[in-house]
């Protein structure tokens, strides 16, 4: 049986992952409106990743005979001034999610829920990847600055990303 404190924390994380997918969909829409289709495509992949993260926790709760409780999602931001501002906002959001995952791991350790701790280690590693991915895009945008040719080169590169579900 799943510990009540862990169940509540995991349910909060499901909702946080769903919100992240909603936020990245909003970013995708912003890029689409600016005709930056590579960035938009990249964000669509990120939406799929966040949904995968949410469903993975959803399934874990159910596997442990817990009850999934979905909450209303807050309206995501939608107005940014530049591609750099969008990516910076996304990077900050991933850093927030990393802190949330770390808090979840701490909760699992405090509650001596070794199964939850083991399960969450995938997310710890995933967040390193997420921050590195957004950080690399952010760094490239800093390098090109206001150079529109550089921005379009990055846009072309971003279009190459595809969603590949992680192996179980």
CATH number at residue 56: 1.20.1260.10
- Residue 76 DSSP code: P
Closest to 100 measured CA to CA, from 124, 116, 122, 76 = 124
- Does the residue 164 lie in any domain? no
Domain count, the chain: 1
Express as a percent the part of the chain with pLDDT over 70.
99
Q: Could you tell me if 78 and 24 are in contact, meaning their C-beta atoms sit under 8 angstroms apart?
A: no
- Does the residue 121 lie in any domain? yes
Q: Which two tokens stand for residue 63?
A: 């596997």
Residue 1 clears pLDDT 90, i.e. is over it = no
Mean pLDDT of 80-99: 98
Indicate the average pLDDT of the chain: 96
Which pLDDT belongs to residue 168?
Answer: 66
pTM score above 0.85: yes
Angle between helices 37-63 and 148-158 (to 10 degrees): 40
Categorize the per-residue pLDDT at 76 as very low, low, confident or very high, splitting at 50, 70 and 90: very high
For tokens 């979840």, name the residue.
104
- Does the residue 168 lie in any domain? no
Residue 23 domain boundaries: 4-158
- Does the residue 97 lie in any domain? yes
- The 10s digit of each residue's pLDDT in 15-67 is 999 999 999 999 999 999 999 999 999 999 999 999 999 999 999 999 999 99
Mean pLDDT of 71-92: 97
Which pLDDT belongs to residue 101?
Answer: 98
């Amino acid at each position: 049986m799943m510990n009540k404190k862990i169940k509540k924390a995991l349910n909060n994380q499901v909702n946080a992952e769903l919100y992240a997918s909603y936020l990245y969909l909003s970013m995708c829409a912003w890029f689409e409106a600016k005709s930056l289709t590579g960035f938009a495509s990249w964000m669509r992949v990120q939406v799929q990743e966040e949904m995968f993260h949410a469903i993975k926790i959803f399934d874990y709760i159910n596997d442990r005979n817990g009850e999934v409780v979905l909450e209303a999602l807050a309206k995501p931001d939608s107005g940014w001034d530049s591609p750099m501002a969008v990516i910076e906002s996304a990077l900050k959001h991933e850093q927030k999610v990393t802190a949330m995952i770390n808090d979840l791991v701490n909760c699992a350790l405090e509650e001596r829920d070794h199964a939850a701790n083991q399960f969450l280690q995938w997310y710890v590693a995933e967040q390193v990847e997420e921050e590195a991915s957004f950080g690399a895009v952010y760094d490239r945008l800093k390098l090109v600055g206001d150079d529109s040719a550089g921005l379009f080169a990055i846009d072309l590169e971003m279009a190459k990303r595809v969603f590949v579900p992680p192996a179980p």
